[in-house]
Amino acid sequence: MPLITSSKTQPVYDVVVVGSGAAGGQTAYTCAMSGAKVLMLEAGRNYDPVKETPMFQTNGQAPLRGGNTLDKPFGFYDATIDGGWAVPGEPYTSASADPAQKFWWWRARMLGGRTNHWGRISLRNGPYDFKPRRRDGLGLDWPMNYEDVAPYYDKVEMLIGVYGSAEGLENTPDSPPGVLQPAPAMRAGEQYARAKGKALGLPIVPIHRAVLSMKQDADKIPAKLHPNNPKAQRVLADAMRGRQACFWATPCGRGCSIKANYQSTTVHLPPALATGNLDIVPNAMAREVTTDAKGKATGVIYIDKSTGQEHRVTGRVIVLAASSAESVRIMLNSKSALHPNGLGNSSGKVGKYIMDTVGASLSGHIPALEGLPLHHEEGAGGAHTYVPWWLYKEQLAGKLGFARGYHIEFESGRRMPNGSTGAGLEYLTKGSYGRKFKEDARRYFGAQMGFAGRGEMIPNDDSFCEIDPIVKDKWGIPVLRFHWKWSEHETRQAAHMQKTFAELISAMGGSVRAKPEADGAKAIEPGGKIIHEVGGTIMGANAKNSVTNQWCQTWDVKNLFVTDGGPFCSNADKNPTLTIMALAWRSSDYLLDQLNKGNL
C-alpha cells in the first residue's frame, strides 16, 4: 500500500482527513473517488492485513495458547496493534477515583484504526433512534430523519458487503431488495435458542454483519454507487474483484487477508489510493487545527512520531475523523484569539454528552448441546443471529422502568480451542483430571452459551471529557480527562438484561454460570468498555446548543467537519459503525458540493 513521508506532502490539498478508520476511510474514499486531492493523517503505523493477518495459525502455536494478555486483552492474534485501553506514552485521566465513574478509552494506533478489530455488526438506526426525545421526552433529537440517511445506508452496505435478512420488525429497518448478502446458517446453539426463545416472545433472527457471504457483483454495484463517474466505477470494480467470500474458518477479529470482512484497510483505502488522489502519512499524531485571522481552518499541525519533529499541512477543508474523543482533544487543543475555548466551541458543547453502549452479560451451560457429533461450527467469526429490541410498546407505556432498549448478541458454537477452553468448567467437571478431564472437555466443549446485551444510553450532563490541566502525552500534547456517570435508565436496563438472559437459559433447559445480578449498577460494564463511544461534538439545529449541523459541519468554522461518532445526538442500541460510515458519506457529498461551489 503506497504511503508517503512528511517531506513528500503537497503544498495544499483539497481535503485533509485526520484518521483512517470507518469515518476517515469513508470520507477519504468518497472525496478521492470524486476527484478531490486528499491527505490522510494516521497516528499509528502502516498496517497491511493482507500480509499481516494470521489467518491459519492455531491458538496452540501462540503464547499462552492464544489467551489474553495485558497488551492483547482480546487474545494474542487480535488485529489491534500498538493500542488498547492503555497506550504507552499516551495517557488519559479520570476526574474521579470511583471505579463506577471511570471511562475506558480504547485506541488502535494503526492504519485502519478500530475497523481492523471490530465485531462488524452493522445495524441501521431506526426512525425512533433519530427522534428519541420526541418519543419519550428524554435526551436529544437529531436534526434529521431516518429517510435522510437511508440512501447512504444502502450505499455503505453495498460497498462494504453486509449479510443479513429482512424481518419487518419495529424500528429495525430492512434494507431494500438486492442490497444485503445472504445470511449464513444458524449454528446449533443459535437454532436451539430460537426454538426455545419463542415462548418468551424473543425474535431471534439473522444478524447483519459486514462479512461477504458471497462474492460482490463487481459488474453492477460500482455503477450504482458512482453513476456518471467511469473512473470510480472501474477502480471500485477492480477492488471488489480482489475480495473473496468468507470461508467460515478464521475469527474476524484477527483481520482478513482475503478481504472477506470490512476493514478500512481492505475496502476504503485501496480504491481511494488507486485513483491517485489520496496521500497517506502514517505515524502522524495530530495536535491541533490551524486557523487564519478570520478564524477559518487552514491546516493541521502534527508530530511525526518516527522523528519527533513538528510538521504542518494545508488544506481547503479539514475533516476530523480521529474517533469521537480524539477529535474532541484536537479541537480543545486548537485555541486562538478567535477561538479561546477551543475550535468550534462557541456553544461550550465540545466534549459534552459523550456516550457508550450499555453492556451486561451472562453465560450458561446447555445440556442439550453436550456431546454432539464433531462438526465445524466456527462460522463468520462472530454471531450469526441476534435479538432486536422487542418491547417498544411496553416501554412506551412505561411498564419497564427504563426508557431505551437493547438487543441481545449470542456467543455459541465450537470455535477454535484456546488456553481457556477447558478452564472454568470445574463446576461441571468437579475437578476431574487425566483421561476423565479429556472426556469431560469433549463432552462440554460447545455446550456453553453466552448472552450479551447492547443497549442505548441517554446523554447526560455528567458524562463529558475535557483537557487535563496538567498531564501531557509523550509528545507534549495535553490529554483528555473523563467524567462519567450512568443514569438509572441504563442501570435498570442492565438488570433487565440479566433477568432476560437467565430466563432464556432456563427455557433452553440450561443452568446459569453465576447468579443473575439484580442490581444493574453491579451488572453494567464500565463506560467505554464496549468501545462504542460517541458524542462530544453533537449535531443540532442551531449553533447555541450544538457543535455541528446535520452535515457534520461545525457551526463556527465552515470548512471544518467532524465525520466520526462525535456528532451523534444519541447512541441507539444499534452498533454505531454503520451509521458513522453512512453519515460520513452523506457529509462528504455535501462537503464536495460546497467546495465545488466555492462556499468553503
3-state secondary structure string, 557-580? CCCEEECCCCCCCCECCCCCHHHH
Average pLDDT in the 572-576 region? 98
Task: Say if residue 312's pLDDT is above 80.
Answer: yes
184 and 302 housed in the same domain: no
Task: Say if residue 282's pLDDT is above 70.
Answer: yes
Per-residue model confidence as pLDDT tens digits over 541-555: 999 999 999 999 999
User: Which of the 8 DSSP states describes residue 548?
Assistant: B
232 and 262 housed in the same domain: yes
pLDDT at 424: 67
Average pLDDT in the 317-329 region? 98
In a domain, 247, yes or no: yes
In a domain, 66, yes or no: no
Task: Say if residue 516's pLDDT is above 90.
Answer: yes
pLDDT at 400: 97
In a domain, 285, yes or no: yes
238 and 320 housed in the same domain: yes
Alpha-carbon distance of 278 to 3, in angstroms, equals 9
Task: Say if residue 63's pLDDT is above 70.
Answer: yes
In a domain, 294, yes or no: yes
pTM for the whole structure: 0.97
Q: How confident is the model at residue 422 (pLDDT cuts 50, 70, 90)?
A: low
> Count of domains in the chain?
2
Task: Say if residue 493's pLDDT is above 90.
Answer: yes
**Beta-ladder partners of 455:** 358, 406
pLDDT at 562: 98
Per-residue model confidence as pLDDT tens digits over 221-244: 999 999 999 999 999 999 999 999
Per-residue model confidence as pLDDT tens digits over 356-396: 999 999 999 999 999 888 777 888 988 899 999 999 999 99
Angle, CA of 87, 409 and 201, to the nearest 5°: 155
In a domain, 491, yes or no: no
Q: Read off the C-alpha cell for 295.
A: 478564524
Per-residue model confidence as pLDDT tens digits over 112-167: 999 998 999 999 999 999 999 999 999 999 999 999 999 999 999 999 999 999 99
Higher pLDDT among residues 438 and 147, named by residue = 147
194 and 128 housed in the same domain: no
419 and 379 housed in the same domain: yes
Alpha-carbon distance of 149 to 108, in angstroms, equals 28
pLDDT at 529: 97
132 and 219 housed in the same domain: yes
pLDDT at 334: 98
Task: Say if residue 421's pLDDT is above 60.
Answer: no
153 and 14 housed in the same domain: yes
Average pLDDT in the 166-176 region? 98
pLDDT at 514: 87
Alpha-carbon distance of 467 to 91, in angstroms, equals 12
3-state secondary structure of 584: helix
Q: Read off the C-alpha cell for 203.
A: 425474535
385 and 246 housed in the same domain: no
Per-residue model confidence as pLDDT tens digits over 14-25: 999 999 999 999
Name the residue among 253, 272, 297 with its Cα closest to residue 20. Answer: 272
Specify the CATH number for the domain of residue 97. 3.50.50.60
146 and 194 housed in the same domain: no
In a domain, 68, yes or no: no
155 and 175 housed in the same domain: no
Per-residue model confidence as pLDDT tens digits over 397-417: 999 999 999 999 999 887 777
Alpha-carbon distance of 444 to 431, in angstroms, equals 14
Q: How confident is the model at residue 426 (pLDDT cuts 50, 70, 90)?
A: confident
Q: How confident is the model at residue 440 (pLDDT cuts 50, 70, 90)?
A: confident
Q: At what angle do helices 146-160 and 577-596 cross, to 10 degrees?
A: 100
Q: Which domain does 193 fall in, by range?
A: 167-206+358-455+497-523
510 and 382 housed in the same domain: yes
Q: How confident is the model at residue 444 (pLDDT cuts 50, 70, 90)?
A: confident
The average confidence (pLDDT) of the chain is 95
pLDDT at 224: 98
506 and 544 housed in the same domain: no
Name residues whose C-beta falls within 8 Å of residue 143's C-beta, 6 or more positions apart in sequence: 539, 540, 541, 546, 549, 550, 569
Q: DSSP letter string over 4-71?
A: --GGG--S-EEEEEE--SHHHHHHHHHHHHTT--EEEE-SSB---HHHH--SS--GGGSGGGG---SS
Per-residue model confidence as pLDDT tens digits over 240-263: 999 999 999 888 999 999 999 999
Mark which of 523, 541, 571 sits at the end of a domain.
523
Question: Among 28-32, 256-260, 426-430, where is mean pLDDT lowest?
Answer: 426-430
Task: Answer whether 566's CB lies under 8 Å from 535's CB.
Answer: yes
Average pLDDT in the 91-118 region? 96
pLDDT at 379: 87
Pairing of strands 297-304, 284-291: antiparallel
Name residues whose C-beta falls within 8 Å of residue 117's C-beta, 6 or more positions apart in sequence: 74, 78, 79, 80, 108, 253, 255
* Residue type, position 575, single letter: N
Q: How confident is the model at residue 438 (pLDDT cuts 50, 70, 90)?
A: confident
CB atoms within 10 A of CB 224: 15
Alpha-carbon distance of 586 to 333, in angstroms, equals 27
Alpha helical stretches, state H, 346-487: 392-396, 426-429, 434-444
pLDDT at 363: 94
Name the residue among 170, 198, 187, 211 with its Cα closest to residue 573. Answer: 170
In a domain, 311, yes or no: yes
Name residues whose C-beta falls within 8 Å of residue 224's C-beta, 6 or more positions apart in sequence: 158
Task: Answer whether 360's CB lies under 8 Å from 522's CB.
Answer: no
Name the residue among 258, 257, 256, 264 with its Cα closest to residue 44. Answer: 264
Average pLDDT in the 581-588 region? 98
In a domain, 97, yes or no: yes
Sign of torsion over alpha carbons 60, 62, 68, 73: negative
Q: How confident is the model at residue 328 (pLDDT cuts 50, 70, 90)?
A: very high
